[in-house]
Structure 1
Amino acid sequence: MNEIYISYAWKDNKSELGSQREELVDKICAALISERYNLIRDRNYLTLGKSIQNFMEEIGRGNYVIVVVSDKYLRSEYCMFEAVKIIKHKGYDQKVFPVVLQDANVYTKEGKSEYIKYWKQQKEKLKQLIGSERTSHEDSAMHDVAEKIREISQKIDEFMFFISDKLSIDPSHNFNAFINQLTDTIRNDAVQLRSKKSILVAGTGDFNIPNEINWCAQKLGEKIAEYNYNLITGGWQGVDYVVADKFAEKITQQNIRLTDKLTHVVPRGKQPVFKGGKIEYTESGINEWLDCLRHSDLVILLGGVGGTYDTYVYAKQEKIPVIPIVCTNGDAKKVFDEMLTNWDTKLMGNISQEKFKSLNQYINDESTAEDVVNDVMDIVNEIIFAKTMLNP
């Protein structure tokens, strides 16, 4: 799950600037939550019994961080230690979205010097205080605080250079553009994450399959490869073979090792009909389904005469989304009708029943088959995005 943390100075809503800051953060949070992003805000997270230290560590590791920078933020031990944790992580500049408020004087040399001087003074004060402490317990506690202040004093200039140098949209002036900038970045990152996601394709297991199933299987193999997903099959003839064949053709054109992208899960003593990719052996029976599903993030069904329906049943039990290509008939049509009757919004991410119903199209040639597969892959991408990036 990719989380968006928001870091800001929040115990200051009695002053006018503090109230304005709180209102802006509330507005950002409301916009992201309305789109179901997984937002973590320290004011809500730090309930009784939660560790402030752990939260600071977590926010530093956050996939995305909105940093609302104010004068109070730049003088707060807690906020600045969060900032130190953030900039310690590789590639942070692509994942941090600074919002610099009007009272944060970071765009002038004098302003930056003032903040650097402030933290050097804090370090010296603690150094003197530690020298006057006598008990080991107090000394240990003071040393922990002093270490944080020392880190802040060392990193304050790097942090201020980053937030003043990075081009970022100010949400107080152009709110929608700021939200779009953030969500576009997350969606672009999701494209890279597809390479870690796997799709199981199951369907009619005969050599002689109807044209509409054959056309869809060919286009599906190509599209799964183009979108950089991994492919899982049961190693059968028919749909498994056709999808794997077209998938392998595209993968080899990309100069990628097929064994890194294609896995056949077959019973011991059996070989997959398609020669190529990685083989994982399992026991005959229910494990043929369960071990396939163990590798899979989503299932696509084409046709089928019994075993394909069983794939749906086991996938549903394992809470794995299923997309039946309804126009290939057979088990896929049966599953499509059943899913509409018992619609599971949570399992299907952002997909509405209306969008799902749009898959019920007629196929009469390769072109219409490609149109259907394109619609299927749009839904696949949306479901994978929702599972990876959003709150369930």
Structure 2
Amino acid sequence: MNQIYISYAWKDNTKLGSQREELVDKICEALISERYNLIRDRNYLKIGKSIQNFMQEIGRGNYVIVVISDKYLRSEYCMFEAVEIMRRKDYEQKVFPVVLQDANVYTKEGKSEYIKYWKQQSETLKQLIGYELSSNEDSAIYDVAEKLIEICQKIDEFMFFISDKLSIDPSQNFDGFINQLTDAIRDDAVRLRSKKSILVAGTGNFQIPDQVNWCAQKLGEKISEYNYNLITGGWEGVDYVVADKFAEKIAQKNLRLTDKLTHVVPRGKQPVFKGGKVEYTETGINEWLDCLRHSDLVILVGGVGGTYETYLYAKQEKIPVIPIVCTNGDAKKVFDEMLENWDSKLMGNISPEKFKSLNQYINDPSTAEDVVNDVMDIVNEIIFAKIMLNP
């Protein structure tokens, strides 16, 4: 799930309500222009969605912008959303509060007023429906009462959180707020890379040209450096070289190689590189499909025949492919074909011009490293788009 939810008090025709709506509109426009996937209850609920389900979805969202106003802190609907948000163990890192000037949350008196307000609401409801509340747990009013009780239990924690967390006020510094939010999301994407896997495929024998060898070595190092998992077909050549360098870097991080490296090989065969986890498959098409089943992106290095097959199956499975063109062979063939039939959606909206920049000359390990750095920049951008952005 890659949504950013916006929780705020709407259906308010006052002057403050109009100002709040304009601010939320501006936040939405800025994030949508950057291709973030925004979910806004005012729009979502128009299509007949369940309010209860929406509140629960907000709690499960990747990120939530909570626009705190006096109306928000006195609204049952808004505070129900707040309770759902707080069910997440990591909500402090996922929630960005925007505290508006009419929300009195920075003084003891203001906090006490809101806490007292919700305790009064709960007590009033208990008095009105005391008998029914204890006798009919399936009634709708019982459900509302339970939520009010939970708000009372959570209001102290919520007030402390929104008043304690540093947040830029977008009404005073809009660009600063958007930058703070997107920087936090990008930082979080770095953590999420550890759950993403890259399949490297290429020349399947040890008689490989220098530029293929140099690129394979640098790829192994960089894939580990960026904390991705590595998938190989267990072959000689590129598979072995990438796995060997990847394993060296993983050892330096004190991580378990079996958690980060997977070889997918036909039954009866062992991967040439001895290390990592081995998964067995059937000979033939499954050798490709089972590799791709584990993979979020494919990088091609050289290759003669089988590497091109990897591209065709990846295309069929709608998995992004990055061929290192200067390693020639199948990688060059795929590069030319991809440019001729460019699919910007599959490639995370990477431009053809940026893709063409990979067509560089390699004559030593240093220039190979430059090329691999450019490859990994594109990898990171594509993976980020897959994780965080609206497809």
TM-score (norm 2): 0.97
Asked if the contact 1:9–1:70 (Cα under 8 Å) also holds between the matched residues in 2, the reply is yes
Moved more, 275-284 or 376-385: 275-284
Task: Check if 1:355 corresponds to 2:354.
Answer: yes
* 1:129-175 superposed Cα distances (whole Å, 9 cap, x missing partner): 11376997798222111111111122212211111111110000101
CA distance in 2, matches of 1:302, 1:37: 32
The 5 Å alignment of 1:241-260 reads 241-260=240-259
In structure 2, what is the equivalent of residue 71 of structure 1?
Answer: 70
Runs of 4+ in 1 over 6 A off after TM superposition: 134-139
Paired letter, 2:46 = T
In structure 1, what is the equivalent of residue 142 of structure 2?
Answer: 143
* 1:95-138 superposed Cα distances (whole Å, 9 cap, x missing partner): 11111111111112222222112111111221121137699779
Paired letter, 1:79 = C
Asked if the contact 1:350–1:382 (Cα under 8 Å) also holds between the matched residues in 2, the reply is no
Q: Secondary structure at the match of 2:46?
A: coil
Q: Secondary structure at the match of 1:40?
A: strand
The 5 Å alignment of 1:27-176 reads 27-131=26-130, 140-176=139-175
CA distance in 2, matches of 1:153, 1:252: 50
The 5 Å alignment of 1:1-392 reads 1-12=1-12, 14-131=13-130, 140-392=139-391
CA distance in 1, matches of 2:47, 2:312: 42
CA distance in 1, matches of 2:200, 2:178: 36
Q: CA deviation at 1:378?
A: 0.5
CA distance in 2, matches of 1:139, 1:238: 65
Cα 1:135–1:325 shift into 2, 3 Å: closer
Asked if the contact 1:2–1:388 (Cα under 8 Å) also holds between the matched residues in 2, the reply is yes
Paired letter, 1:360 = N
Q: CA deviation at 1:284?
A: 0.8
Q: Secondary structure at the match of 1:10?
A: coil
CA distance in 2, matches of 1:152, 1:133: 20
Q: Secondary structure at the match of 2:358?
A: coil
CA distance in 1, matches of 2:248, 2:138: 66
Asked if the contact 1:235–1:274 (Cα under 8 Å) also holds between the matched residues in 2, the reply is yes
* 1:311-345 superposed Cα distances (whole Å, 9 cap, x missing partner): 00000000000000000011101100110011111
Q: Secondary structure at the match of 1:47?
A: helix
Q: CA deviation at 1:370?
A: 0.5
Q: Secondary structure at the match of 1:179?
A: helix
Q: CA deviation at 1:91?
A: 2.1
Asked if the contact 2:70–2:103 (Cα under 8 Å) also holds between the matched residues in 1, the reply is yes
Q: How much identity, in percent, do the aligned residues show?
A: 87
Paired letter, 1:187 = R
Asked if the contact 1:5–1:65 (Cα under 8 Å) also holds between the matched residues in 2, the reply is yes
CA distance in 2, matches of 1:328, 1:139: 67
CA distance in 1, matches of 2:121, 2:276: 60
Asked if the contact 2:126–2:133 (Cα under 8 Å) also holds between the matched residues in 1, the reply is no
Cα 1:150–1:348 shift into 2, 3 Å: same
Q: Secondary structure at the match of 1:121?
A: helix
Q: Secondary structure at the match of 1:266?
A: strand
CA distance in 1, matches of 2:160, 2:265: 56
**Tell me, which stretches of 5 or more residues in structure 1 are unaligned?**
none
Q: CA deviation at 1:296?
A: 0.5
CA distance in 1, matches of 2:88, 2:36: 22
Asked if the contact 1:215–1:369 (Cα under 8 Å) also holds between the matched residues in 2, the reply is yes
Asked if the contact 1:130–1:139 (Cα under 8 Å) also holds between the matched residues in 2, the reply is no
Asked if the contact 2:133–2:142 (Cα under 8 Å) also holds between the matched residues in 1, the reply is no
Give the CA RMSD over aligned residues: 1.6
Paired letter, 2:357 = S
CA distance in 2, matches of 1:288, 1:139: 53
Q: CA deviation at 1:207?
A: 1.2
Asked if the contact 2:136–2:142 (Cα under 8 Å) also holds between the matched residues in 1, the reply is no
Paired letter, 1:231 = L
CA distance in 2, matches of 1:260, 1:135: 51
Asked if the contact 1:299–1:323 (Cα under 8 Å) also holds between the matched residues in 2, the reply is yes
Asked if the contact 2:238–2:301 (Cα under 8 Å) also holds between the matched residues in 1, the reply is yes
CA distance in 2, matches of 1:271, 1:155: 56
Asked if the contact 2:267–2:281 (Cα under 8 Å) also holds between the matched residues in 1, the reply is yes
CA distance in 2, matches of 1:295, 1:155: 41
Q: What count of residue pairs does the alignment treat as equivalent?
A: 391
**Tell me, which stretches of 5 or more residues in structure 2 are unaligned?**
none
Q: Secondary structure at the match of 1:200?
A: strand
Asked if the contact 1:200–1:298 (Cα under 8 Å) also holds between the matched residues in 2, the reply is yes
Q: Secondary structure at the match of 2:66?
A: strand
CA distance in 1, matches of 2:138, 2:317: 53
Q: Secondary structure at the match of 1:143?
A: helix
CA distance in 2, matches of 1:133, 1:282: 61
